């Protein structure tokens, strides 16, 4: 999905692709930290608010913000390594 966002062909699907990339990263992080986070009061309300902020149909929604500030720089820095891992997995499959 990141490759589709970074492609030169920009359609109106970019907003939703960005959201799903952010949601995927959030889901992975939550999988490993859910046992600790669930103890915090109002965690699930804060989680719902966070996801609504990420889906907001405004130009400065959370998904755009998090993607451009955190995920995109990390991806661009490690793109070659990630591509080689994906290629190795494809070869093994």
Tens of pLDDT, residue by residue over 33-50, are 988 888 889 999 999 999
pTM, rounded to two decimals: 0.73
Cα separation, 7 vs 1, whole angstroms: 10
Cα separation, 52 vs 64, whole angstroms: 13
Asked if residue 5 is part of any domain, the answer here is no
Q: How many domains does the chain have?
A: 1
Domain limits at 45?
A: 10-92
pLDDT of residue 11: 58
Asked if residue 3 is part of any domain, the answer here is no
pLDDT of residue 81: 93
Cα separation, 15 vs 81, whole angstroms: 26
pLDDT of residue 14: 75
């Amino acid at each position: 999905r990141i490759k589709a966002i970074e492609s030169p062909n920009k359609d109106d699907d970019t907003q939703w692709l960005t959201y799903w990339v952010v949601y995927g990263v959030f889901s992975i992080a939550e999988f490993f930290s859910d046992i600790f986070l669930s103890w915090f009061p109002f965690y699930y309300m804060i989680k719902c608010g966070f996801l609504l902020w990420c889906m907001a149909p405004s130009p400065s929604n959370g998904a755009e913000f998090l993607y451009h500030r955190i995920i995109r720089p990390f991806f661009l820095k490690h793109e070659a390594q990630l591509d080689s891992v994906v290629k190795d997995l494809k070869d093994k499959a």
